[in-house]
Amino acid sequence: MLDKVRQSNYELMRITSMFFIVLWHILLHTEILNNSTGLLKQGSLILYLLLMVHTNSFMLLSGYFQYNKKNKAKKIFGLIGHTWFYNVIFMIIGLSIWNHSYDKLTILRVTSVLNIGGYWYITGHVLLMICSQIINKYINNSTKEEHKKVLIIFFIIFSIIPYITRNGAIANDGRSLIQFIFMYLIGAYLGKYPIEKSYHFKNNSINKNRLIYVSLFFSFMIINYLILQFGYSLKNYNGAIINDIYQTISYSRDSFANPFIILSTICYFLLFGTLNFKSKIINRISSLTLGIYLVHENPVVVNFLYKTIIPSVNYNDTLLLLFKFIIYSIILFIISGLIEFFRQIFTKLIKKLKITKFVLNKTEQFIKNF
């Protein structure tokens, strides 16, 4: 039976990345980088930068697995439905338990099936899925050299130029459709042309390749950190040019399109590619990750959580505060995972109903005819 279980290396990556995304969101929503000083600020900045790769890793994973597959409309509607479910559920909870008030327009907007705007990642991913057939056609009909040239052009235009111009010449903060497409193309390249079979890596042992990926990952992170520190050191200097350099470097901290973040993401992804194991438990937990994101980043949940957490934050706790945030992340990850687990059970029961089967069949026929 174990042979029928799919590989779990990238499923483990999904779990790892989603946990760190939960932690990153806590750092983001508590605004610790703006409110802390000294050792806590430096520790928070290092952790913040280390966690920046994880959103990109999900984008990259899409290209790795989907470049040679057809993206059915059913999947797109499934993702929208999944998002809609949590929007409606948490709005009801907000109204009945947390005493939130909504005007009629907000209620109509939240309950709309097409309302996915509260999640920028879901919006980008849905748009990517819509475009994926065109992108896949190019990927599967291009040569290795053509694909490589496109990646280099994308890297220069949509990563390096926004980085050095503070989005002045070309805008891309890593939350745009172009970022999804760029990371999708990188993932597809790594899937179509495995790096371990390339000239520079094929004669290496797995452990040597792991060491290379880890070393490069931390090298890019250290360079990014040092550049930021240099930028921050210019804050109190006078002069338009120096101030512009400070603003440009500071802005790069929060950009997923930062070239050092993209390069670190690739190394992180390749590291998990060196693992070779199968686990039903890992794969099952991995299936909860999208739900974990939809639960813990739901606008109603975010509003409730950080009204509760922020007042209790003591920015004089030094590095102990980061440890508390890690504990919060574990709790939030587990609770969100359990909510998604029970949602999946509920959904399976609903799908067994005759009326549900009838509606789903009619919808699928409509989509195919359309």
**338: left (phi > 0), else alpha (psi -120 to 50), else beta?**
alpha
Beta bridge partners of 278: 7
Closest CA to 14 of 50, 58, 80: 58
What pLDDT is recorded for position 354? 67
What pLDDT is recorded for position 73? 78
Amino acid at 72: K
DSSP 8-state secondary structure symbol assigned to residue 237: -
φ, ψ at 278 (rounded to 5°): -130, 135
Distance of alpha carbon 236 from alpha carbon 243, whole angstroms = 9
Distance of alpha carbon 66 from alpha carbon 40, whole angstroms = 41
Q: Retrieve residue 351's tokens.
A: 């799908």
The residue count of the chain comes to 370
Closest CA to 272 of 65, 122, 66: 65
What pLDDT is recorded for position 117? 63
Amino acid at 352: K
Q: Retrieve residue 141's tokens.
A: 């009909």
Distance of alpha carbon 203 from alpha carbon 330, whole angstroms = 40
Q: What sign does the CA torsion over 190, 193, 195, 196 have?
A: positive
What pLDDT is recorded for position 2? 47
pLDDT in tens, the chain (370 residues): 445 668 999 999 999 999 999 999 999 998 889 888 888 999 999 999 999 999 999 999 999 999 998 877 778 888 988 998 998 898 888 887 766 666 666 666 666 656 666 789 999 999 999 999 999 999 999 999 999 999 999 999 999 999 999 988 888 899 999 999 999 999 999 999 999 888 778 889 999 999 999 999 999 999 999 999 999 999 888 888 999 999 999 999 999 999 999 999 999 999 999 999 999 999 999 999 999 999 999 988 998 888 776 666 777 767 788 998 999 999 999 999 999 999 999 988 887 776 766 665 666 665 555 5
